[in-house]
Amino acid sequence: MSHSEMMTPVEILPWLGKHWSFFIQRLEAGRLAHALMIEGPAGCGKMSLASAMVAQLLCCEDGPLACGQCRSCKLRAGGAHPDYFELQPEEGSEVIKVDQVRSLIAKLQLTTSASTRKVAYLHPAESMNGAAANALLKSLEEPAGDTVLILVSNNPSRLPITIRSRCQTISVAQPESQLVLDWMVKTSGKPEAKIVAALQAAGGSPLRTLHYLESSELDAYPQVKQGLSTLLLHPASVSLISSQLNELNPVDLWRWLSMCTVEVIKSMMAGTALSWLPSNVELRDKTLLQLQRQADINRAMSATPVRGDLLLQDWLIRWAEQIV
Ligand SMILES: [Zn+2]
């Protein structure tokens, strides 16, 4: 990647701007902590931020952005940087094991060979088991030489407080929906209505929104809304709607049913109307909550050999019955 092609994570994901500036300021002032914890909900760009930091920390040239040209940058881009270590659960496992951490610590003791510092990247940090976290703790207490550890976590509360307290925390919050919408309208080239639907389906998570925009999963969302609306006006059409919706991918279908229900609950709480719902019906919020929970349970069950058509029919009957 040439210098001109490189963009800061801020240009790519604008809500990361303040975190990137914080990092650069600390780095330039020589006050960057030995361990950074980037935390926050999934799908907000924490890993993009971490990768940009890794690149910046390893580059041997001065400048506000990794140059992409020096030997260190080329080694990193080729995935063979001798001073860079990435730790995540091994294939088939969900935990980072103590042996992995011990091996990392041993490597961090060695002198650098291509960069001026060593960088380790651990993700997801909460997947360290107790022994692994304890082993890491020692190296957080006595960091070796010019070493920077970057931990990334969706779920920092699952990490021991002793680990968290030794890291400089960078909290990446989910950006405001309006900011994500403006950014996507500008950069994605997709129609605004589709972006709004994707954003809703993704619960506001920007990277999941992008995923929906680029896949066909979202195409069925309007059909699900249409089906639910029809049922409220014509409860007797349950069999028909059920057989239509049963054609959809069950995981997507249950996600959309859950999302639609959440949308209805939110609009009732806010006292606003939803364009896809008939305006003259009133629904029971308690039943809606149960239906939403049931949709999530059914989504989890759709991976198991169950009679999905029966679950769906039952759910739709309850949906049609909830008119006050
Ligand atoms: Zn470089």
Check whether 245 has a pLDDT greater than 70.
yes
Q: Which amino acid is at 302?
A: S
Ligand 1 center from residue 49 Cα (angstroms): 17
Ligand 1 center from residue 76 Cα (angstroms): 9
Higher pLDDT, 217 or 137: 137
In terms of residue numbers, what domain contains 59?
3-171
Which of 162, 194, 215 represents a domain boundary (last residue)? 215
Predicted confidence band of residue 272 (pLDDT cuts 50, 70, 90): confident
Predicted confidence band of residue 4 (pLDDT cuts 50, 70, 90): very low
Ligand 1 center from residue 72 Cα (angstroms): 6
As a whole number of angstroms, the distance between CA 144 and CA 45 comes to: 29
As a whole number of angstroms, the distance between CA 176 and CA 183 comes to: 11
310 and 167 in one domain? Answer: no
223 and 209 in one domain? Answer: no
197 and 227 in one domain? Answer: no
pTM listed for this prediction: 0.75
Q: What is the DSSP string of 93-129?
A: -SSB-HHHHHHHHHHHHSPPSSSSSEEEEESSGGGB-
Q: Is 159 in a helix, a strand, or coil?
A: coil
Higher pLDDT, 70 or 287: 70
Ligand 1 center from residue 162 Cα (angstroms): 34
Ligand 1 center from residue 74 Cα (angstroms): 7
Ligand 1 center from residue 68 Cα (angstroms): 5
Ligand 1 center from residue 306 Cα (angstroms): 54
Ligand 1 center from residue 82 Cα (angstroms): 15
Ligand 1 center from residue 66 Cα (angstroms): 5
118 and 15 in one domain? Answer: yes
Ligand 1 center from residue 59 Cα (angstroms): 4
20 and 162 in one domain? Answer: yes
pLDDT digits (tens, 9 = 90+) for 150-208: 999 999 999 999 999 999 999 999 999 898 999 889 888 888 888 988 888 888 889 88
186 and 166 in one domain? Answer: no
Ligand 1 center from residue 114 Cα (angstroms): 11
154 and 65 in one domain? Answer: yes
Average pLDDT, the chain: 89
Q: Hey, how many other C-beta atoms are within 10 angstroms of the C-beta on 138?
A: 11
Ligand 1 center from residue 19 Cα (angstroms): 21
CATH number of the domain bearing residue 223: 1.20.272
CATH number of the domain bearing residue 50: 3.40.50.300
Ligand 1 center from residue 67 Cα (angstroms): 4
Predicted confidence band of residue 295 (pLDDT cuts 50, 70, 90): very high
Which of 136, 171, 206 represents a domain boundary (last residue)? 171
126 and 149 in one domain? Answer: yes
Ligand 1 center from residue 166 Cα (angstroms): 29
279 and 204 in one domain? Answer: no
Domain count, the chain: 3
How much is the average pLDDT of 64-76?
Answer: 91
Ligand 1 center from residue 7 Cα (angstroms): 14
As a whole number of angstroms, the distance between CA 205 and CA 172 comes to: 12
Using an 8 Å Cβ cutoff, are 151 and 122 in contact?
yes
Higher pLDDT, 46 or 219: 46
313 and 183 in one domain? Answer: no
Among 206, 169, 312, 198, smallest CA distance to 251 is for 312
For residue 153, what pLDDT is reported?
A: 96
Check whether 303 has a pLDDT greater than 70.
yes
190 and 65 in one domain? Answer: no
For residue 217, what pLDDT is reported?
A: 78
158 and 51 in one domain? Answer: yes
Predicted confidence band of residue 5 (pLDDT cuts 50, 70, 90): very low
Ligand 1 center from residue 71 Cα (angstroms): 7
Q: 274: which DSSP letter?
A: -
